[in-house]
Structure formats: structure tokens, C-alpha cells
Amino acid sequence: MLRIEYVLLLVCFYSAFNAQAADLQTLDFNLESGEVIHVSHYQSDSSKLFIWLPSERGVSEHSLEVANRLADIGNNVWVVDLHSSYMVSTSRYSVDEFPVSDITQLLIEAKQGGYEQVYFLSANRGASLVLGSIIQFSRIYPASSLIKGSILIHPYIYESLPAMGEAARFIANSDKSHLPIYMIQPQYSTKYLFTEDIRRQLEKGGSQVFTHKLKNVEGGFYARPAEDLSPAAIEAKQQLPETIDRASRLLAQIKPASLVSRETTEERSKAKPIRESSLSVYKGQQRRLHLELPDLNGQMVNLEQYRGRVVLVNFWASWCKPCVREIPSLSRLGEHFADKAFDIVTVNIGESAERVALFLDADNQHLQVLLDQEGNAVRNWRVYAFPSNFLLDQSGEIQYAYRGALEWDSPEVVKIIESLL
């Protein structure tokens, strides 16, 4: 499969979002299921339509700025507010509540409305809804050339997060995608380091996947206010409408592959992982994992150097708010065990030594910081979300694990660590 990787080079600033709002119309589609789907239509004199499906976080007012500008440059945009239409709260798995058949009906409405080119646009877990809708519509209308492809921002096509140490499974239908996909991957996102795995999975059904990497840009940049974004992310958001428009013109030139004919009896997983309240016993098959990475000074550090000591391995990033929230308690934990055979090894994900050094302060003296800039350790340790934590005994075997932020100096955690000393 052909793959193009872009590094965004921005040479000027745009005042796109200060422009006059595009014509906006509210549409209510009455579906055969009895549901009413609410759609904000940003209008343009064009036969080209973007159907913007929400991620699990719903529709952000800041993402509407992007939709407005996309219409300004000659595109129709339907922003589909599924959460309010179905009265579903935003949550990690909220997208699983939306029937693919209803989205298929929206495509039929677009076809009957005279649109000649339709592109899906979505992010994160919204990708599963996009893929399922395309497959269902294509099976009903195999000769239709209405859908030209999709633009997916840091797509998440895994099922619910696996137990710590286990490999994640891809959602059903992710290997049956046959239309071209333009994948936009900001660097500071949990999905960035799994870009190649995601691309290979999507290509199994015949999709041609183009990868556009955004360096130094935070995940969710398109839906966040400027005060929460870095300068690089602000520029990427300003450029995003033009990026999407160019992507659609590229996708329109690609001849789609044949739809995989085999039917699937699988449904999108509705399994929800059990949320542990503290460290839980590690159940992964690989209990002893390799870890060798440079520290902030460029010196290589091997986990074998810590043999004979209890070690907490913490995967984190400065752009991850839960990671940042737990750092003070990690420092207090390190101070509590300062005279014991215990160490904390933190693995920063994908950031430079300079960026990490500027972020940390003198209070973090009990934390050893290693840099996993290429994501090799993330993949080897099967880390699918940050922060992720592994507690190793003195022989180097993983005994406990936890995904998420903890109060690390809580009596419960301290007691578990003491049991290993």
C-alpha cells in the first residue's frame, strides 16, 4: 500500500476563525428507527459534503470553528450531534450506543439531497462508527461511488482497554475497510506511537492509508481552546480546514478497493474494563520485560541495573493531565522509601530531553527519568494508555500493575510496596 508521511511545516498565520460565520442551518432528520438526528449544516454552494461524526467526547464548540472555516473554503459540512439526539452522555464508550444503520440513513439523505461526493470526518473512537457506516452502506449500494473516503484524526480502533500486559484487540470491521483514509496523527497523543499498527490493520481490507503526522501537537487540538494549546497546536488548528480540504481532493483521486465480501457476526464491543481502585495483581504472561533507554543526560540505563531492588516503572507524558496530577505523590513516595531498596523509574513518552527537563523541577529528585522517544518500550510493555504503572519485585518480575493516576503515598499502596521489600 502506498503511504505518504507529512511533517507539517507552517510558514504563516491565518485569521481563519475571525472570519464571518458561514451560513448555518439546523437540520432534523426523522429516521425509520423513530429517532431524530440533529445536524448543524455549515452551507456552501458545492456538491461536496463532509459528514462530521463526533468522538466519544461529543461535539465541541471549538471544533465548530473548524467546520465553519471548512465551509468558508467551499465545502458543505454536516456536524452530527449524536449525543444530544440519542440523549447519551459523553463517556469513553458512548460511541458504541449509536446504531450504524441510522448513520447509513444519513448517507441516503445526502445522496437524495444531490451531493456527489461525501467524506466522513471524525476522531478517536468515532472512527469505529465511520468504518461501520461505510461498510454497511457499501453492502446496500455496492455500485455507489458517493463516499470518497474518510479523514480520521488520531483514530482509536481498539476494543476496550485490555488487562495490563495483554495485547489489545482491534474492533470488528477494522480489517474490512476498503475506501481510502487520510489519518492525521498529532505527536502528543496515546495513538501516535501505534500509528503503524493502526495503518496496517486498516490496510487489510484494501484501504489506501495516508499518514499525516503533526509534530509537537497535542491530541484533541481541533476541539480545545487556544489557552490549552501549544503554539504548534494553535497553528495546526488554524491550518486544519485547509488540510482537510486538500486531503479530500487527494482521496477523490484514489480508486477504491473491492469491499470484503465476507459478513461478520461480530458487533462493536460493549465490554467495559473493570476500574481497579489501587494496584492489582499483574496477570500478563510476560512477567519480566526488557527496558533500556537513555536518561535526560543521554546515558543508557538498563532495568537490570535495579536487580535486588523493588522498582515502580511509570509510563507518562507532560501533555497527559492525569500523569501530571500524580507526579507530586510519586515524589512523596520516593521520599518515603528513600532509605529502602526501592526506586521509581519513569518512562517519558515521545518528548525531548529539553522539554522534559523544563517541565520537571527540583522536587522530583527521587524520580529516575528515561526517554522513550520512538515508543519501543511502550509497544514492548503493551502500554495503551497513560499513565500506566508496573511494580516489580527484587527479582525483576512484575507483580502488580495499574492503569491511571493514583495517590502513590496512600497507606494501601505503601503497604503493597512494603510487602515486596
CATH number at residue 285: 3.40.30.10
Per-residue pLDDT, 180:
97
In whole angstroms, how far apart are CA 269 and each of 6, 90, 94, 101, 158?
A: 33, 17, 12, 17, 9
Q: Say if residue 236 is in the same domain as residue 147.
A: yes
Tell me which residue range forms the domain holding 167: 5-251
pLDDT for the residue 261: 59
* Residues 292 and 155 grouped into a single domain: no
Do both 242 and 314 map to the same domain?
no
Note the pLDDT of residue 9.
34
Contacts of 2 (CB under 8 A, 6+ apart): 208, 210
Q: 178 with 205: CB under 8 angstroms? A: yes
pLDDT of residue 12: 36
Does residue 392 lie within any of the structural domains?
yes
Do residues 315 and 193 lie in contact, with contact meaning Cβ atoms separated by under 8 Å? no
186 torsion bin: left (phi>0), alpha (psi -120 to 50), beta (else): beta
CATH number at residue 26: 3.40.50.1820
Whether 224 and 371 share a structural domain: no
Co-location of 26 and 100 in the same domain:
yes
List per-residue pLDDT tens for the chain, 421 residues long.
333 443 333 333 333 334 445 688 999 999 887 889 999 999 998 999 999 999 999 988 888 999 999 999 999 999 999 999 999 999 888 999 999 999 999 999 999 999 999 999 999 999 999 999 999 999 999 999 999 999 999 999 998 788 888 888 999 889 998 999 999 999 998 889 999 999 999 999 999 999 999 999 999 999 988 888 899 999 999 999 999 999 999 999 999 988 865 544 344 444 555 456 678 999 888 899 999 999 999 999 999 999 999 999 999 999 998 999 999 999 999 999 999 999 999 999 989 999 998 888 755 678 899 999 989 999 999 999 899 999 999 999 999 999 988 999 999 999 999 999 9
The number of distinct structural domains making up the chain is 2
CA angle 100, 101, 104 (to 5 degrees): 90
Is residue 273 one of the residues assigned to a domain? no
Residues 180 and 318 in one domain: no
Same domain, 286 and 395: yes
What DSSP state is assigned to residue 146? -
Structural domain includes residue 264: no
Range list of β-strands (E), 226-377: 280-281, 292-294, 300-302, 310-316, 342-349, 367-372
Of the candidates 92, 88, 13, 77, the one whose C-alpha atom is nearest the C-alpha of residue 44 is: 77
Do both 381 and 246 map to the same domain? no
Residue 121 and residue 17 in one domain? yes
User: CA-CA distance, 97 to 323, in Å (whole number)?
Assistant: 29
Residues 6+ apart with CB under 8 A from 273: 160, 161, 162, 163
Q: How far apart are CA 299 and CA 309, in angstroms?
A: 20
What confidence score (pLDDT) does residue 269 get? Answer: 46
**Last residue within a domain, chosen from 251, 267, 301:** 251
